[in-house]
C-alpha cells in the first residue's frame, strides 16, 4: 500500500477567529481533538500511527492554544469542529478526543449525529458536569493571583501530568505540551460558550463508542468515563495501566491498538 504522507497546513476562518491545524494522509477521515490544557501536539504519535494505517487525519489547535490565536468573540467548540469539517469537505468523520476534546466529541455526536462515525473518548470530560475543586487548587489560584505564569503552568501540569514529576523529574513532552500554553492560562478570555448538558442525551448517541481511561488519572475522570460507558448504548470501557491524563503520550502503543481495533469495527 502506498501511504500518503503529505501534510497540508490548514487555516479555517470562524466567527471571531481563526483555527490553524493540519490535514494529512488519505482514507477514512479521523478528527483528533486535544485536551483543554494542551495543543494538538499531544496527538503527534497518534496522528503518525493513523496515517500509516491508511487514515486521513485532521487536527487543529482550539482558539488561544498552539498556533490558533485567541478568539475575538463568543464561540462554540462544536460549531468550530463542524466548521473545520465543512472547510475540508468532510461529511462525517471518526471523532477521537482527549479530555475536553472528548467532551466536544460527545457534544458533536448529540448535536449533529450524522457527522460522527465513531467516538473514541480518552480520559473524557463532560459538558454539564459539576466539577469538584481539584487537587492543588490553592497553589494554582495563588500563582494566577500574582501573575506567575510559569508557576501556574507548572501547577496545571502537576495536576494533569503527574507522572512527569515522579522522582522530581520534569520537562518531558507530556508536561511541556501543557507548560507551553502559559499565555492562555493567564488570559482572562471568557468567549468560549458552554455547550448544553450532555448527560440527559448520552443515551441517544448511536455512534459506536470506546472509552479509554488511565489508571493514574484523577478519580473524577474515571467517574465520568465510567458513566459515559454506561450511558452510551454499546460503549466499551478500557483502562490502560501506567498512564495519567495524557494517555496519547504515556501509553501510545496500547492506546493505538485499542483505537485501531475500534475504528475497524
Spatial strand order in the sheet of 236-240: 7-14, 17-24, 56-60, 29-33, 93-98, 116-122, 209-214, 236-240
Q: How far is CA 260 from CA 8, 60, 137, 139, 171, in A?
A: 23, 21, 37, 39, 30
Cα–Cα distance, 244 to 93 (Å, whole number):
27
* pLDDT at 1 exceeding the cut of 60: no
Q: How does the average pLDDT of the chain come out, rounded?
A: 95
Do the beta carbons of residue 77 and residue 102 sit within 8 Å?
A: no
Q: Which CATH number fits domain 7-130+196-263: 3.40.1440.60, 3.40.50.1820, 3.40.630.10, 2.40.37.20?
A: 3.40.50.1820
Domain segments of the chain as ranges: 7-130+196-263, 137-186
Q: How many residues does the chain have?
A: 265
pTM greater than 0.75 (yes/no): yes
- Return the half-sphere exposure (C-beta side, CA atoms, 13 A cut-off) of residue 168: 0
Phi first, then psi: what are they for 214, rounded to 5°?
A: -110, 145
pLDDT, tens digit (0-9, with 9 covering 90-100), for 10-54: 999 999 999 999 999 999 999 999 999 999 999 999 999 999 999
Segment 136-140 mean pLDDT: 97
Percent of all residues in the chain with a pLDDT value above 90, rounded to a whole number = 92
pLDDT, tens digit (0-9, with 9 covering 90-100), for 200-221: 999 999 999 999 999 999 999 9
Of 241, 228, 227, 236, the residue nearest 261 (C-alpha) = 236
The pLDDT score that the predictor gives to residue 261 is 98
pLDDT, tens digit (0-9, with 9 covering 90-100), for 44-102: 999 999 999 999 999 999 999 999 999 999 999 999 999 999 999 999 999 999 999 99
With b for 16 or more beta-carbon neighbours within 10 A and e for fewer, the 161-194 pattern comes to: bbbbeeeeeeebebbbbbbbbbebbeeeeeebee
Q: What is the DSSP letter of 51?
A: H
Amino acid at each position: 500500500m502506498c501511504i500518503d504522507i503529505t501534510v497540508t497546513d490548514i487555516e479555517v476562518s470562524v466567527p471571531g477567529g481563526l483555527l490553524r491545524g493540519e490535514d494529512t494522509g488519505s482514507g477514512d477521515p479521523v478528527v483528533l481533538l486535544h485536551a483543554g490544557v494542551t495543543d494538538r501536539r499531544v496527538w503527534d504519535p497518534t496522528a503518525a500511527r493513523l496515517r500509516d494505517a491508511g487514515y486521513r487525519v485532521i487536527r487543529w489547535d482550539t482558539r488561544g492554544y498552539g498556533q490558533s490565536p485567541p478568539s475575538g468573540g463568543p464561540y462554540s467548540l462544536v460549531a468550530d469542529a463542524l466548521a473545520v469539517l465543512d472547510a475540508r469537505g468532510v461529511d462525517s468523520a471518526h471523532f477521537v478526543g482527549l479530555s475536553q476534546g472528548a467532551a466536544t466529541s460527545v457534544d458533536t455526536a448529540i448535536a449533529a449525529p450524522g457527522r460522527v462515525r465513531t467516538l473514541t473518548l480518552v480520559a473524557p470530560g463532560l459538558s454539564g458536569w459539576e466539577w469538584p475543586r481539584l487537587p492543588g487548587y490553592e497553589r494554582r489560584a495563588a500563582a494566577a493571583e500574582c501573575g506567575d505564569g510559569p508557576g501556574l503552568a507548572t501547577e496545571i501540569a502537576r495536576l494533569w501530568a503527574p507522572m512527569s514529576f515522579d522522582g522530581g523529574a520534569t520537562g518531558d513532552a507530556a508536561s511541556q505540551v501543557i507548560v507551553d500554553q502559559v499565555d492562555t492560562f493567564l488570559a482572562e478570555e471568557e468567549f468560549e460558550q458552554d455547550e448544553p448538558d450532555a448527560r440527559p442525551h448520552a443515551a441517544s448517541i448511536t455512534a459506536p463508542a470506546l472509552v479509554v481511561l488511565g489508571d493514574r488519572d484523577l478519580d473524577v475522570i474515571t467517574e465520568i468515563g465510567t458513566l459515559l460507558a454506561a450511558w452510551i448504548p454499546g460503549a466499551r470501557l478500557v483502562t490502560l495501566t501506567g498512564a495519567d491524563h495524557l494517555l496519547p503520550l504515556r501509553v501510545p502503543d496500547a492506546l493505538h491498538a485499542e483505537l485501531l481495533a475500534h475504528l475497524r469495527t
